[in-house]
Amino acid sequence: MISAGEFRKGITFEINGEPYVILDFQHVKPGKGSAFVRTKYKNIISGVIREESFNPNDKYPKAHIETKRMQYLYNDGELYHFMDEDTYDQTPLMADQVEDAIQWLRENDTAEIKFYKGSAFLVEAPNFVELAITDTEPGVKGDTATNVTKAATVETGAVVQVPIFIETGEVIKIDTRSGEYLGRA
């Protein structure tokens, strides 16, 4: 059990059997009345964000989130299949569970999958990936203005803004959290 007075960013807890993570908190001690904890928290499963004040003495069960490194195997049209690297167990996931990460994953790449009570709810791609460009416009000779970018499609199908001198076939490094081009690999 965790009391509301111990809330910090990143702590997971349960309310009515639903898991939540603390996004922001503030301990408030007004001149009159009792202290309280103003909190902004997010439902881990549904993604709904709420703001609420708690009594610092209120106690809630801690939500245990398990993280596993798994290898992305393939997509069969509706399910994305991942394999646990330790036990070789396969886990099929729906498109809405992998939507943010799948644009950065190739077959056989590894990702972190978060589980709550044995059910996967989130797939996280590595923070940085190196992908080859499959399609981009050729650079225009003489266009030397600084910070000019163009759209480039990488091998996973994601579209990234790259400098005009990058050509089709080059391997680039990408920050998956922002989708930003970092440089040539």
pLDDT tens for each residue of 4-62: 889 988 888 999 888 998 889 999 888 888 899 999 998 888 888 999 999 999 999 99
Say what the pLDDT of residue 44 is: 84
According to DSSP, residue 131 is labeled E
Buried b or exposed e, range 120-150, using 16+ CB within 10 angstroms = bbbbbbeeebebebeebeeeeeeeeeeeeeb
Say what the pLDDT of residue 166 is: 86
Domain 128-184, CATH among 2.40.50.140, 3.30.565.10, 3.30.200.20, 3.30.2270.10: 2.40.50.140
Does the 65-124 domain belong in CATH 2.40.50.140? yes
pLDDT tens for each residue of 95-141: 888 888 899 999 999 999 988 888 888 888 999 999 999 998 887 66
The length of the chain is 185
Within 10 A of 172 (CB to CB), how many other CB atoms are there? 20
Phi–psi pair at 96, nearest 5 degrees: -70, -20
Domain with CATH 2.30.30.30 in the chain: 2-60
In whole angstroms, what is the distance from residue 26 CA to residue 39 CA? 6
Task: Say if residue 146's pLDDT is above 70.
Answer: no
Domain with CATH 2.40.50.140 in the chain: 65-124, 128-184
For residue 65, with 0-12 CB atoms within 10 Å meaning exposed, 13-18 middle and 19 or more buried, which class applies? middle
Domain 2-60, CATH among 3.40.605.10, 2.30.30.30, 3.20.20.300, 3.40.50.720: 2.30.30.30
Say what the pLDDT of residue 132 is: 93
Say what the pLDDT of residue 21 is: 87
Contact 63, 116 (CB under 8 A): yes
Taking the C-alpha atoms of 38, 39, 40 and 44 in order, what is their torsion angle to the nearest 10 degrees? -160
pLDDT tens for each residue of 79-90: 999 999 889 999
Taking the C-alpha atoms of 156, 162, 168 and 170 in order, what is their torsion angle to the nearest 10 degrees? -80
171: pLDDT confidence band, cut at 50, 70 and 90?
A: very high
What is the gyration radius of the CA atoms in the chain, in angstroms? 22
